[in-house]
A and B are shown apart, each in its own frame.
Chain A
Amino acid sequence: MSLRVWTTLATRDERDWGHLPPSEERAHAVRAAEIAGLDGVVAPYDLGGEESTVLVGDALRHTRWVHALHEFHVAAFNPVYAAKIAASYQRFTAGRLDWAPLVTAATPSQRRPSSTDAASWYARADEFLNVARGVWNNATFDLEGTYYQVKGGGFREALAGLPFPRVHLTGSDDDALWLSAKHGDVHVFTTAHEVAERGPLLQEQARALGREVELGVRLSVLVRETDDEARYELSAESGASPDLVPLPSGASWWDGFATRGHASPGGLVGSYAQVADELARLASEGVNTVILDVRPRVEETYRIGEHLLPLVRPAAGSTTSDLETTGVR
């Protein structure tokens, strides 16, 4: 199984580059992911930052290989319009768009009828994905739902026959697993513990529906040539010895990445070989998507491409046989 390695993009300004527009800073990080051979970049949903649809467009337009994972709240669009936006991206970028619809994340606004609790949000997300796939895969489509109604829908002509974005879902409670079993292509957890605890159950539920859901994990990393260097980097920043949890490979798990400005609070600290070993361990539990949160983004993305990827791809038993092929480049 091949390991897909992604990085997350900034939604807020991270360096004070007064002489350049803010989008230029992000463009460098996108280009780094492309040049360094990563599989994709994640455009996060961040109410306090820039909007991800715009990030996705810029990333896809200026790359040839990387995919862009569009994280958005299901409240943001009606599902037909969301699918329409996705179809345009797929048409123009050789099918390099992926989806990460968020269900229970905070949203200050929604279309009526309102969803008021987790159950009603999941019901809405289920309907959203039914409609999006329904109009995408059928020349004619009707659905009379609680939240959405479509009559005489369906993508035809230039909108037909495109690859539907691979759906990445998150969460670890029962509702989240149920939605993934039904609609997900990849389920992204946030710790190795969650993968071990909930991953097999999810895959069992999916198989019961005749589906396959791949597993993924999203975490921070700080890797250096040696473990000492990586730890030194951390203590130099925090001024104190950080609270590290040792792992079998000799790498450590650290829950304090938020103090370094990362969006993923938990992650791995160690040498290239150690972290590659931990990722191989995850791969052996079925994980084939790894979303990495690194700072500073450009430099660390290069580091991952040069030093970590050569170790993790063979370590995960990579062959090119199951590489995604979504169209001409």
Chain B
Amino acid sequence: MVDVYWRIGTHGDQPSVRRPHAQTRGDWAPSEPGSITPGRRGGSDDGYTYVDHMADVAKAAESAGFVGGLLPSFPFTDDPFTTAALLARETRTFRFMVAYQPGFLDPVHAARLSASLQRATGGRLTYNVITGGGGPQQTWWGDTVAHDDRYARTAEFLDALKGAWGTEPYDLDGRFFDVQGAHLPPELAAQPVPEVYFSGSSPAAIETAGKHADYYLSWLEPFSALPDKFRQVREESAAFGRTPRFALRVEILARPTEEEAWAEIDRAWPAIDKAKLSFDATGDSVGAARARGFIKQPVTGPRDLEVEPNVWAGFHLLRGGPVFGLVGSYDQVAQRLDELVELGTDAFILAAVPHLEEAYRIGSEVLPRVTFDRTNSLTSTLRSAS
């Protein structure tokens, strides 16, 4: 069974992929006529906040057949644990994939928080454990631990979280955490530990992932590059006697016909930031730097970024986030997703702008066309506490 997740932006949303980076949903730009959450009513804000829109996206994804949604975390976005706690009782089957950095919480308190969310939602919490890219973004968070040490901390954190997740006292005289007699009350200890989607691609990351990841999560890359990446993680994990599954975060632009899909990009093209077309490593994205090797310069039009059939390396030009995604007809995109499963993908996090409307579109047009067995959130039994 393949779990197919959607994504909920924690940073506002734009109304269309045709208008790169135009944020009208949420309060990242001042509200004006046409803004949503807050909207305008009688000349002032209507009192709704961005979480009301996030609730709509969660409900859309739930009814469109996704098992849940990724809630990403960046310095100036909203906090995923907060969002999950706010929306817990507004959905029934939707799993909250909470992105967080283990260094910012205490592991035992994180266990308590997580188990309480599990109990409130019937076991609908999933982790996206991120360890951080380093540099100014980490010190902004108050984190001065060096790169490889951060992965050691992530490992120790997850050891402690899982160790404390029981009714017997747990001690850990760790390098980063000092744990004495930690345990959970029986009602919380009975909850399932969330599945771990693990991000990071350095050797230190893969070593930690080998020990703790249920799913190794990667952005989409050209199909030709994925088998090597999967193989590397599989080898590292074998040393720990574990067999990780693989999850891909995939941007989608799907329309009834291929022509219509590319036409969306053609409309957006004049407004994109042309500086990003050089895929210069000084840019803001590791993914962009990694993409450089796949791009033939010079890039003069959108189709120059189609590195493999339907695999387009320009999504970061339309919105913040990954470089690679799928562009094509509903049939083509569904077929590519099938191929990714054949390459060894066990789960997906799909996303498209705008998140609300596209959840319905992908759910009703693309997902029914894939042939792999996917988890059906509406009929599957929740992973509830026994």
Q: Which residues of A contact B (CB under 8 A)?
A: 12-13, 21-23, 27, 47-51, 53-58, 60-62, 72-73, 75-81, 84-85, 87-89, 91-94, 107-112, 114, 131, 135, 148-159, 328-329
Contact = CB atoms under 8 A, between A and B. Distances in A.
Given A54-B117, A109-B180, A329-B47, A81 B28 contact: no
B142 A153 contact: yes
B120 to A, nearest CB: 4
Given A150-B140, A328-B45, A75 B76 contact: no
Contact of B141 (A54, A72, A80, A89): A80
A51 B178 contact: no
B187 A13 contact: yes
Contact of B108 (A55, A60, A61, A108): A108
Contact of B178 (A76, A78, A110): A110
A240 B176 CA distance: 53
A89 B51 CA distance: 10
B94 interface: no
B180 A21 contact: no
Contacts of A109: 106-109, 160, 164, 177-180, 182
Contact of B113 (A13, A54, A149): A54
Interface string B69-100: 00000001011011111111110000000000
A157 B76 contact: yes
B296 interface: no
Contacts, number: 184
B82 A88 contact: yes
B217 interface: no
Contact of A76 (B109, B120, B177, B187): B109
B82 A89 contact: yes
B140 A21 contact: no
* 5 tightest A-B CB contacts, nearest first: A57-B85, A109-B108, A151-B139, A108-B182, A76-B109
A171 to B, nearest CB: 21
22 contacts: A21-B122, A22-B119, A23-B89, A47-B185, A53-B81, A54-B117, A54-B120, A57-B84, A58-B89, A61-B51, A80-B104, A89-B86, A92-B50, A93-B49, A108-B164, A109-B178, A112-B175, A114-B178, A149-B139, A151-B140, A153-B141, A158-B28
A234 B137 CA distance: 57
Nearest to B136: A152
A147 B76 CA distance: 24
How many residues of B sit at the interface, in one of the four size bands? Answer: 35 or more
B185 A76 contact: no
B19 to A, nearest CB: 19
B116 A54 contact: yes
B195 interface: no
A78 B27 contact: no
Contacts of A94: 47, 49
B28 A149 contact: no
B119 A158 contact: no
B7 interface: no
Contact of B142 (A75, A93, A148, A328): A148
A138 to B, nearest CB: 12
A51 B115 contact: yes
Given A51-B112, A78-B142, A108-B108, A156 B76 contact: yes
B178 A57 contact: no
Q: Could you tell me the dominant secondary structure of chain A's interface residues?
A: mixed
A91 B50 contact: yes
A93 B164 CA distance: 32
A110 B257 CA distance: 56
Contacts of B50: 91-92
A151 B140 CA distance: 6
A150 B140 CA distance: 6
Contacts of A80: 104, 140-142
A51 B106 CA distance: 13
Contacts of B119: 21-23, 50
Contact of B106 (A56, A58, A61, A77): A77
A77 B104 contact: yes
B43 interface: no
Interface in B164-186: 164, 174-183, 185
Contacts of A75: 106, 109
A53 B113 CA distance: 7
B70 to A, nearest CB: 16
Given A27-B89, A53-B113, A91 B76 contact: no
B200 interface: no
Contacts of A149: 139, 142, 144
Contacts of B81: 53, 85
A84 B79 CA distance: 7
Interface hub of A55, A72, A112, A158 (most chain B Cβ within 10 A): A158
Interface hub of B144, B176, B178 (most chain A Cβ within 10 A): B178
A231 B53 CA distance: 51
B26 to A, nearest CB: 7
B188 interface: yes
A61 B120 CA distance: 14
A49 B85 contact: no
A12 B84 CA distance: 20
Nearest to A109: B108
A35 to B, nearest CB: 18
Contacts of A158: 11-12, 26-28, 76, 78
B86 A92 contact: yes
A115 to B, nearest CB: 9
Given A57-B88, A108-B164, A109-B109, A150 B120 contact: no
B86 A60 contact: yes
Nearest to A155: B76
A88 B78 contact: yes
Nearest to A151: B139
A81 B164 CA distance: 22
Interface hub of B83, B122, B140, B179 (most chain A Cβ within 10 A): B140
Given A22-B119, A110-B177, A153-B140, A50 B104 contact: no
A156 B49 CA distance: 18
B290 to A, nearest CB: 26
Contact of A23 (B49, B88, B107, B115): B88
A56 to B, nearest CB: 7
A81 B141 contact: yes
B109 A77 contact: yes
Given A78-B142, A79-B142, A89-B82, 4 more contacts: A57-B84, A109-B107, A109-B177, A155-B76
